Structures are given as structure tokens and as C-alpha cells.
Amino acid sequence: MFERFTTEARQAVVGAQHEARRLHSGRIGTEHLLLALLIQPTPSAAVLARHGLTRDDVSAAVRHYVGDGDLDAEALTALGIDLDAVRSSVEASFGPGALDRRPGERGPAGHIPFTPRAKKVLELSLREAIAMRSKSIGDGHIALGLLREGEGLAMKVLADRGVDTVELRRDLTAALAA
């Protein structure tokens, strides 16, 4: 399926992995796909922006729901725990970067798996492209896949921001047809 992805769609998938890392997530979810779509200079990103979606606002909303994954260094210091000393001790025993992988992460170091819902979004992006008789899958099709999937944190963020998803779908479809 990925061989049918345009450069922009591939960049969205890679960008989703970057966003998951940035937010210290062990999995790539729908929210990371949405964030990745917002950082590209594409017509689909412009449509999302016209609907009031910005990377900063969506990122803040995601952090509100799931946190940022960082330990509160000040709170731990108040308890007498020095994070730098802990890191040094662990790396002395297990090697440099031993704390960089998240617990339960499978696959090679650096690999972040997709959640089942995010995988479904990518599958639905193919269906959206087929329905539009497109020979390739663009970033706009991924956005339409998010809307078609209809659940997940990305949709929660859209709902909380008051985005009319029917209107957004119409505008994305028009941008892809242009």
C-alpha cells in the first residue's frame, strides 16, 4: 500500500513517527497523524488550518489528554531523587541510551508501532483514494481517512475544537479534486 503514497503522504507518516517521539508516546496514534498533517505546506494542511487547526493548539490538546510523558524533575528532586544520577547509574550498568527505549516497546530500537486505529486510518486513506479514482494516496486522503474512521484522540480534539467534520470532509474533498 505504501508504494501508492505520494511524497506528502509518506512525509505525513514519517512526521507522525516524529510527533509520537516528540510527545514521548510509545505508539503512533491518530493524534500523531493529525499533527503530522498540520506541519506540511500542502493544500490539505491549508484546509485544516482554515478550520482552526494549528499544530500548537492540537499538540496542547493532545498533551492535555495524555500528558507529555516527561517525569516532573522538580517534584522528584524535592523527594531527593536526582534524575541525572539515576540516568548515569543506569547507563553505567546497561550502556549509553539504555533509558531511551520506552517500556514494552517492541521491534528494533527507534521503531514506534502504529495503534490499530491509526493503521485503520491508513487503510481507509486507500479506500478514500479509490473512491475518488485517484491512482495515488495523498496526505488529503489520510485526513479523509481520519474523518472516516471517526474515533480516536484526533477526532476528540476536532470535536472539542468545534470542527464541523462534514464541512471539513467537503473542503478536503474539494482540495483533492482541484
What average pLDDT does range 26-50 have in this prediction?
94
Beta bridge partners, 157, equal none
Note the pLDDT tens digit of each residue in 64-93: 888 765 555 555 566 666 656 666 666 676
Instruction: Decide which of 1.50.10.150, 1.10.10.10, 3.40.50.2300, 1.10.1780.10 is the CATH code for 2-69+110-177.
Output: 1.10.1780.10
Give the C-alpha separation, 12 to 7, whole Å: 9
At 175 the pLDDT is: 94
Note the pLDDT tens digit of each residue in 157-173: 999 999 999 999 999 99
Q: 15: closest CA among 1, 46, 36, 45?
A: 36
pTM: 0.77
Note the pLDDT tens digit of each residue in 116-156: 999 999 999 999 999 999 999 999 999 999 999 999 999 99
